Structure 1
Amino acid sequence: MPHFEVTTSIAAPPRRVFDVSLDVDVHTASMADAGERAVDGVTSGGLVLGDTVTWQARHFGVLWRMTCRISAFEPPARFVDDQVDGPFRHWRHEHRFAPDGRGGTVVRDVVDFAAPLRPFGTIAELAVLNRYLPRLIRDRNRHVKAVAEAPA
Structure 2
Amino acid sequence: MQRIELKTEIKADRNIVFDLSRSIDLHKISTEQTNEEAIAGKTSGLIGMNESVTWRAKHFGIYQKLTSKITEFDRPKHFADEMVKGAFKEFKHEHHFAELNGGTLMTDFFDYESPFGILGKIADNLFLKKYMTELLTERNRIVKEFAESEKWKELIKK
TM-score if structure 2 supplies the norm length? 0.93
Q: Show the counterpart of 1:72.
A: 72
Does residue 60 of structure 2 align to residue 63 of structure 1? no
Distance 1:63 1:127 in 2: 21
Instruction: Note if 1:115 corresponds to 2:114.
Output: yes
Aligned residues: 151
> Structure 2 CA distance, aligned partners of 1:103 and 1:31?
29
Q: What residue in structure 2 maps to residue 106 of structure 1?
A: 105
Q: How does 1:19-34 map to 2 (within 5 A)?
A: 19-34=19-34
Please state whether the residue corresponding to 1:47 is helix, strand or coil.
coil
The residue number in structure 2 matching 1:144 is 143
Q: Distance in 2 between matches of 1:43 and 1:96?
A: 23
Q: Which residue of 2 aligns with 1:87?
A: 87
Query: Residue 133 of structure 1 aligns to which amino acid in structure 2?
Result: M
The runs of 4+ residues in structure 1 deviating greater than 4 Å are: none
Give the match for residue 156 of structure 2.
none
Q: TM-score, normalised by structure 1?
A: 0.97
Aligned equivalents of 2:56, 2:97: Cα separation in 1: 26
Return the offset for 1:134. Answer: 1.0
| Deviation, structure 1 residue 12 | 0.5
Task: Please state whether the residue corresponding to 2:76 is helix, strand or coil.
Answer: coil
